[in-house]
Amino acid sequence: MAEFFQETNAQFRRWMLHLKREPFTLAFTLLNPIILLIFMGGAFQGLASDSVGGDYRSYLLPGILALTVFGNSIAGGIPLLFERENGFLLRLMSAPISRGSILVSRFLAVNVSTMLQCLLMLVLGLLFGVRIATGVGGVFALLVISLLLGFGVTVISLVLAFRLENHGDFFAVMGITTLPLTFLSSAFVPLDSLPAWMRAVAAVNPMTYAVDAMRSLILTGWDAPRLLLMAIVLIAFDAAMFWLGRRALSRHLA
Amino acid sequence: MSEPVVRIENLSKAYGIVTALDGISLEVKGGKIFGLLGPNGAGKTTTVKILATLIRPDGGKAEVAGVDVLTDPAKARSLVGYISQELTVDPYLTPLEHLRYYADLYHVPAALRQLRIRDALALVGLAGLEDRRARHLSGGTKKKLDLACGLIHRPPVIILDEPSLGLDVEVRRDVWNHILRLKEEGTTIFLCTNYMDEAERLCDELAIIDHGKIAALGSPAELKGRLKREIVSVEVARGKEASGEWLATLETAAARLSMVRKAVKDGAILKLYVDNNEAALPKILEAAASLKIPLESIAYSRPGLDEVFLHFTGRAFARGGENDG
């Protein structure tokens, strides 16, 4: 156990050094959600105020948080894939480490960076006049929801990092999943305004439950049934991904 | 030190229909440098990856320091330092951070960490560069850092896959010296190489590997001794219209001489394998004179490792048109 901690900690520290020393990458990852918040929020304010009732930026912020979480988590495995390609990972595997430490350390690093980004988005939201109905406790709850959503998606990404042939495929998968999955949820528009078939997909999209819960925390207040539903759906999603991920990777990390 | 530290028995591995290893067996004694010499695709990297527990063979056994790499890979990993062919340096980290990283991956106790890191830095001559990000280091320095990372846990066995690939002459010599120093300290070294001079300079024992099979095994001197041949290299006058023709005529004539075992054209040079060059030289000169073929130069030499390779595999050691050794 002490050894597992030592090797996981070492790998986690390395990922954190990367985060610290790649400020541009971090800045550009943040640019996309910021643009969405400022421009999309501004552009649709007039159109949307009737259907969402009130400030569209406040309405949009949870959607952008969910998009940030999804984007960051699904991209989380990419460095591992690059290191599979350039030989760094193989060298790592020649060390007497538990293979799980490779996944755990990357998982932690991805989620720490996601939390940082979510916090930044929240601060930015506050600067643009978004008020969070549930206050400081709500901010904490928003981060917990982000983490619950990020967990399962990060697991998917780690599986892809080991199962896909090359990083080109990875980017293709990311490209065709991120935006459609976000649109097929309640991230940008109320579910009721979606066509029936999209609503059906959105109803089984975990992102919908995360966004709805976040939105209630920001716009209205503590909504226990909604939070409970979100917790059940996301925990089930995370558990399912974890179970599938273990199965998918057991052979690759023997 | 006489107990073998690396033992490979009848190892085989195929990738689909391509046979990478076709039942190789060998033993490496403690404190020696053992070299696996062969062209690309001969099976060198497959062999060391099996020793480093990175791939599983289809059949056979492999042991390092008495530990079976197949049944107890975790233990085997802690006894081996594996330095791969590719540079595995992280451009964002400093040498100090690399060593700290690997010290933790090999579970070096905190109390010993500083000492080990200093030692590793000093051994490969990186002291003074420890705080510079690896992206700003030269290729040679990165290779030395790679080497240092593989030593941090003081493994009894070091595996080096093509240690001087892509390095310039000076850095190569530097890396060789570090390898020799490791040997002096009692480490057993298993290396793959593509270079004759590297094998000759470093290895106590050598296996020539070709098409996944071991073609010959022995010390460099032994292997060369087994050829029992000497070589006379004859060059006809350069740059003349008839140069090519002269060379061909001389080849035919020389092949008829009783002391010439074999005549091989190597570019503009005719290589004659003879039993005794003192006796053969005058005969060859006589033959050239009687055919009125002007000569540019004539030289004789003992066989190098590339002749050894040619002899045991029946093929020239071709490597991108280079011709060294």
Backbone φ and ψ of A222, nearest 5°: -70, 120
Q: Are residues B239 and B99 in the same domain?
A: no
Using CB atoms and an 8 Å cut-off, which of residues 22-41 of chain A contact chain B? 22
Assess whether pLDDT exceeds 70 at residue B121. yes
pLDDT for position B317: 59
pLDDT of residue B324: 34
H or E stretch covering B12: strand B4-15
Q: Which among B78, B92, B133 has the least Cβ separation from residue A96?
A: B78
Q: What is the DSSP string of B143-197?
A: HHHHHHHHHTT--SEEEEESTTTT--HHHHHHHHHHHHHHHHTT-EEEEEES-HH
pLDDT tens per residue across span B145-193: 999 999 999 999 999 999 988 888 888 998 999 999 999 999 999 999 9
Rounded-to-integer distance, Cα A146 and Cα A114, Å: 8
CA-to-CA dists, residue A207 to A67, A73, A148, B71, angstroms: 9, 13, 10, 45
For A90, the closest chain B residue by CA position comes to: B54
Mean residue pLDDT across chain B: 88
Q: B54–A86: do the CB atoms touch at under 8 Å?
A: no
Domain, as residue range, for A123: 2-252
Query: Given a cut of 60, is residue B325 above it in pLDDT?
Result: no
| Residue of B49, B55, B99, B105 to mutate when probing chain A, most A C-beta within 10 A | B105
Find the distance separating the first CA and the last CA of chain B, reported in whole Å: 31
Number of compact structural domains in chain B: 2
Among B221, B236, B253, the domain boundary falls at B221
Q: B84, A22: Cβ pair inside 8 Å?
A: no
User: Residue B34's pLDDT is what?
Assistant: 97
The answer to whether residue B250 sits within a structural domain is yes
* B205 and B256 together in one domain: no
- Judge whether residue B33 has pLDDT over 90: yes
Residue of A nearest to B110 (CA): A6
Q: Is A164 left (phi over 0), alpha (psi -120 to 50) or beta?
A: beta
Judgement on whether residues B148 and B275 belong to the same structural domain of the protein: no
pLDDT computed for residue A235 by the predictor: 97
Residues B129, B108, single domain; the answer is yes
Listed by number, the residues of chain B in 132-151 with a beta carbon closer than 8 Å to a beta carbon of chain A are 133
Residues of chain A found within 8 Å of residue B100, distances taken between Cβ atoms: 10
Q: Do A91 and B105 touch (CB under 8 A)?
A: no
**Residue B276: what are its φ and ψ, rounded to 5°?**
-150, 110
Q: Is residue B107 part of a domain?
A: yes
pTM metric for this prediction: 0.84
Report pLDDT for B280: 84
Contact B105 A92 (CB under 8 A): yes
DSSP B134: G
CA distance A174 to chain B (A): 25
| CATH number of the structural domain spanning residue B283 | 3.30.70.100
Q: Is B88 in contact with A21 (Cβ distance < 8 A)?
A: no
pLDDT at B321 over 50: no
Residues B35 and B137 placed together within one structural domain of the fold? yes
Residue B169 lies in a domain: yes
The domain boundary, picked from B221, B242, B275, lies at: B221
- Cβ–Cβ below 8 Å for A7 and B101: no
User: What's the first-to-final CA gap in chain A, in angstroms?
Assistant: 19
Block means of pLDDT (10 residues each) for chain A, 254 residues, are 94 95 83 83 75 79 93 94 92 93 94 91 89 93 96 94 91 90 89 90 94 94 95 96 89 68
Q: For an interface test with B, which of A11, A89, A91 has the most B Cβ atoms less than 10 Å from its Cβ?
A: A91
pLDDT of residue B2: 60
- Say whether A94 and B82 touch across the interface (CB within 8 A): yes
| DSSP-assigned beta bridge partners for residue B6 | B28, B64
Distances (CA, A) of B26 to A197, B11, B60, B209, B213: 66, 10, 12, 11, 11
Q: What's residue B62's pLDDT? A: 96
Residue-level pLDDT at B243: 82
| Cα separation, B221 vs B18, whole angstroms | 33
Residue B78 pLDDT > 70, yes or no? Answer: yes
Q: Residue B112 pLDDT > 80, yes or no?
A: yes
Contact A14 B74 (CB under 8 A): no
Of residues B286 and B239, more confidently modeled? B286
Q: What is the model's pLDDT at position A16?
A: 95
In a domain, B32, yes or no: yes
User: Is B28 a member of any domain?
Assistant: yes
Give the pLDDT of residue B47.
Answer: 96
> Is A94 in Cβ contact with B88 (below 8 Å)?
no
Residue B156 · residue B188 · CB < 8 Å: yes
> Which amino acid, A168?
G
CB contact under 8 A, B88 and A87: yes
Q: What is the pLDDT of residue B259?
A: 82
Contacts of A22 in chain B (CB under 8 A): 92
B151: in domain? yes
User: What pLDDT was estimated at residue A27?
Assistant: 81
Rounded CA-CA distance B78/B155 in Å is: 7
Look at residue B258 in the predicted model and tell me its pLDDT: 82
A119 touches chain B (CB under 8 A): no
Output the CA–CA distances (angstroms, integers) from residue B18 to A168, B41, B320, in the order listed.
27, 10, 23
CB-count exposure of residue B260 (10 Å: 0-12, 13-18, 19+): buried
Domain termination site, one of B204, B221, B238: B221
The distance of A107 to chain B (nearest Cα, Å) reads: 18
Residue length, chain A?
254
Contact yes or no for B104 and A21 at CB 8 A: no
Query: Alpha-carbon distance B81 to B72, whole Å?
Result: 16
What are the backbone angles phi and psi of residue B317, rounded to the nearest 5°? -80, 80
- The pLDDT value given to residue A197: 92
Residues of B in Cβ contact (< 8 Å) with A104: none
Q: Which of B98, B117, B88 is nearest to A14 (CA)?
A: B98
pLDDT at residue B251 is higher than 90: no
Pick among A88, A94, A102 to test the B interface (most B CBs inside 10 A) = A94
Collapse the DSSP code of B24 into the 3-class scheme (helix H, G, I; strand E, B; otherwise coil) and give the result. Answer: strand
Contact state of A17 with B77 under an 8 Å Cβ cutoff: no
**What kind and span of H or E run contains B256?**
helix B243-256
Whether B136 maps to a domain, the answer reads yes
In total, the C-beta contacts within 8 angstroms joining chain A to chain B are 62
pLDDT at B275 over 90: no
Residue B308 lies in a domain: no
Res. B323 pLDDT band, cuts 50 70 90: very low
Distance from CA of A201 to the nearest CA of B (A): 42
Cα atoms in the 13 Å half-sphere on the side-chain side of B284: 31
State whether A3 and B105 contact (CB < 8 Å): no
B105 and B27 within one domain: yes
The parent domain of residue B251 ranges over 228-302
How many domains does chain A contain in total? 1
Candidate ranges B98-102, B195-199, B313-317; pick with highest mean pLDDT: B98-102
Interchain CB distance below 8 Å, B74 and A96: yes
Is it the case that residue B319 has pLDDT exceeding 50? no
Query: What pLDDT score was predicted for residue A15?
Result: 96
pLDDT band at B315 (very low <50, low <70, confident <90, very high): low
